[in-house]
Amino acid sequence: MISISKLQFTYRDSPFSLQIPELNLAGGQSAVIVGPSGSGKTTLLHLMAGILSATGGEIIVGDTSIHKLNDVDRRLFRLLNIGLVFQDFQLIDYLNVLENVLLPCRLNPSISLTEDLRARAIALLTSAGIQSLQNRSVTRLSQGERQRVAICRALLLSPKLVLADEPTGNLDPATTQRIVQLLLQETSRSNASLVMVTHDHSLLPSFDRVIPFEPFVYGTHSAQSPSGVDS
């Protein structure tokens, strides 16, 4: 479902360098990225989403090489095929909770807001434990509640690839487990790939693969142990 080969990226006027010789994740598989701040975890997610452009190599999502698309087509591809959970959530303050979850329907005119999609949005909010807040302004939510809204929005269209950057960072342990299971169940159900960044090492056994990052340069690792944690 996602394939990376010979990927290289550098920021202008920065010594930072990210190099990934090869990384492949099949549909239905999950991977978690761990490592210190500044090692390139968020940068990799933004490269996978086509928000940043690589300086070399290729990223293929499904059968599409995303960096060969122009800016407009890449944005449309991202809306239809990639679910994103940002660290800062990127919710729209003048919309309520349900409207924020349904935002992909507003951003892409090719997506019709059907009753089925509305029902799916409410079902996701229920699974996340915030269905009772669907008509509340997001400005009146806690950080943890805002985080769950962002996760529901990312899952709405059952994307091929879900990229989640610290999606449980503001949640208590019980809600963290609930949200991780929601992400894993939804991506497994739709045979999607899930890539998540976290600092919570207690979550690692839940994933098929664990990808450890080192500062500045990353080399690929394969999951080998029964728990799915790289040796």
Q: Domain map of the chain by residue range?
A: 2-212
Q: b/e per residue, 83-117, with b = 16+ CB within 10 A? A: bbbbbebebeeebbbbbbbbbbbeeeeebeeeeeb
pLDDT at 121: 96
Reported confidence tier of residue 215, pLDDT bands at 50, 70, 90: low
Reported confidence tier of residue 19, pLDDT bands at 50, 70, 90: confident
* List of residues 6+ apart from 19 with CB closer than 8 A: 7, 8, 9, 217, 218, 219
User: Once rounded to an integer, what is the mean pLDDT over residues 167-171?
Assistant: 86
Residue 227 has pLDDT above 70, yes or no: no
Q: Structure tokens of 148?
A: 């769950």
Express each pLDDT in 55-98 by its tens digit. Answer: 999 999 989 999 889 998 998 899 889 999 988 889 999 999 99
Longest Cα pair distance anywhere in the chain, in angstroms?
50
What does DSSP assign to residue 205?
A: G
pLDDT at 231: 28
Query: Percent of the chain beyond pLDDT 90?
Result: 60
Residue 1 has pLDDT above 90, yes or no: no
Q: What's the one-letter identity of residue 104?
A: P
CATH number of 2-212: 3.40.50.300
Asked if 205 and 227 count as a contact pair (C-beta separation under 8 A), the reply is yes
* List of residues 6+ apart from 160 with CB closer than 8 A: 1, 27, 61, 62, 81, 82, 190, 192, 193
Asked if 11 and 44 count as a contact pair (C-beta separation under 8 A), the reply is no
- Burial label for 70, CB within 10 Å (0-12, 13-18, 19+), is exposed
Express each pLDDT in 93-110 by its tens digit. Answer: 999 999 999 998 888 878
Laid out side by side, the sheet with 56-61 consists of 17-25, 2-10, 56-61, 64-65
